[in-house]
Chain A
Amino acid sequence: MAWNKVTWEDVKEGQDIGSYSMEMSAVKISGGAWATRDSNPQHHDSAFAKASGSRDVFVNIMHGEGLLCRLATDWSGPTGDIKKTRFNIRGSCCANDTLTVSGKVTKKYVGAEGDGFLAGLHLVDLQVDSSTEQGAFCDAVITMALPAKAGGHK
């Protein structure tokens, strides 16, 4: 299988990084909770979730972060490294919702000297949004390091 390999020089600020949609069955939602060892009944017990004020069982934060980060590396290919995520929950993604995840490049830069673990890396910030038929689910700014033709990708 051939994987994408996005190089830093070829990225433009404002460019689209694509999107995907996924049917979020109760199996997928409870499976995501199980895979992240989250035993909160709001992710597997429909009656409990509804009594807690939700429409149904909903995707947990670790699974949600995984769903957004997937778009970033699907776009960059495996040579792109996720360095930082700033993740906000806006609503919920419940059983039988269709989740759509989309994103764009908002910033392209080289990590400054004072930027600690980002110093010297060829970076992009991605704005990744997700929503269901019911509205916004979560969004994130994902900072990635990309391989550069000029070198410097560690």
Chain B
Amino acid sequence: MPISEKDKALIGRESAPLYAPDEVTKPAIRHFCEMVEDANPLYADDDYARDSKYGGIVAPPQMLMAWCMPRMWPFPEFPSIPMAELELPGVDTWIAADMIHEFYKPVRPGDILSYTMKLEAVSDMKKTRVGMGHFITTTQIYRNQKGEVVGKEIRTVLKYKAKEKE
């Protein structure tokens, strides 16, 4: 099933910046490393990191997306993002499909990140391993508080109709 003209008109639109609810912190980095069992001393060992080329602790670059996840309470008022405005009737559940990350600059404790999201593509309704759904591709540009671009993300998610429970 093709997407509606209204949904098609959203393709190519880019959001205003969305800001991380918190600055990057060492405890948040450690909580991530704990669940991955990642012992890289650049992420946790002050002495090692100080003597490295970075001169101090850095966040795992692969945490890029996590810093800007919205807080859960009180629910923030977001600038409109084109992905949230899609109608896509009949689908109700999200799942990630693939993601490309490029890391340009280190992210450090104290940084406050923001990102913009551009809607790149929305597929017709397709059959997938979890149900019928649309693949939605967006590009996110992440910046730090100095306005420097620290990374880029191209992400494809599937919005699908969850199967009825047997």
Give A contacts to B, CB under 8 Å: 1, 3, 22, 28, 31-32, 34-40, 42, 50-54, 60-63, 65-67, 69-70, 73-74, 78-79, 81-89, 91, 117, 154
Inter-chain pairs besides A32-B35, A38-B69, A53-B162, 17 sampled, C-beta below 8 Å: A22-B37, A31-B34, A32-B32, A37-B70, A42-B93, A53-B163, A61-B96, A61-B99, A62-B65, A63-B36, A66-B62, A70-B40, A78-B52, A82-B62, A87-B98, A87-B99, A91-B129
Give B contacts to A, CB under 8 Å: 28, 31-32, 34-42, 48, 52-53, 60-63, 65-66, 69-72, 93-104, 129-131, 162-163, 165
A66 x B96 contact (CB < 8 A):
no
- A20 CB to closest chain B CB (Å) equals 8
Q: A37-B66, A40-B94, A53-B130 are in contact. Are A84 and B103 (CB under 8 A)?
A: yes
Partner of A66, one of B60, B97, B104, B165: B60
Q: Interface residues of A: mostly helix, strand, loop or mixed?
A: mixed
Complex Cα distance, B39 from A78, in Å, reads: 9
B31 x A35 contact (CB < 8 A):
yes
Complex Cα distance, B103 from A81, in Å, reads: 9
Q: A70-B36, A86-B100 are in contact. Are A50 and B31 (CB under 8 A)?
A: no
A52 x B100 contact (CB < 8 A):
no
Q: A36-B63, A52-B130, A63-B36 are in contact. Are A85 and B165 (CB under 8 A)?
A: no
Q: A36-B63, A61-B96, A62-B66 are in contact. Are A78 and B42 (CB under 8 A)?
A: yes
Complex Cα distance, B57 from A78, in Å, reads: 12
B69 x A82 contact (CB < 8 A):
no
Partner of A36, one of B37, B65, B104: B65
B62 x A62 contact (CB < 8 A):
yes
Q: A39-B72, A84-B101 are in contact. Are A69 and B62 (CB under 8 A)?
A: yes
Residues of B within 8 A of A38 (CB): 66, 69
Complex Cα distance, B123 from A55, in Å, reads: 26
Residues of A within 8 A of B104 (CB): 117
Complex Cα distance, B104 from A97, in Å, reads: 34
- A105 CB to closest chain B CB (Å) equals 19
B38 x A62 contact (CB < 8 A):
no
Residues of B within 8 A of A31 (CB): 31, 34-35
Residues of A within 8 A of B37 (CB): 22, 70
Partner of A28, one of B35, B65, B96: B35
In the complex, the chain B residue whose C-beta lies closest to that of A38 is B69
A34 x B31 contact (CB < 8 A):
yes
Interface centre among B72, B98, B129 (most CB of A within 10 A): B98
Q: A39-B72, A62-B63, A66-B36 are in contact. Are A87 and B101 (CB under 8 A)?
A: yes
In the complex, the chain B residue whose C-beta lies closest to that of A28 is B35
Complex Cα distance, B60 from A65, in Å, reads: 11
A selection of 28 A-B contacts at a CB cut-off of 8 Å is A28-B35, A31-B35, A34-B31, A35-B31, A35-B34, A36-B66, A37-B70, A38-B66, A39-B72, A52-B93, A52-B162, A54-B130, A61-B65, A65-B62, A65-B101, A66-B36, A66-B62, A67-B36, A69-B60, A69-B62, A70-B36, A70-B40, A78-B40, A78-B42, A78-B48, A85-B62, A87-B100, A88-B97
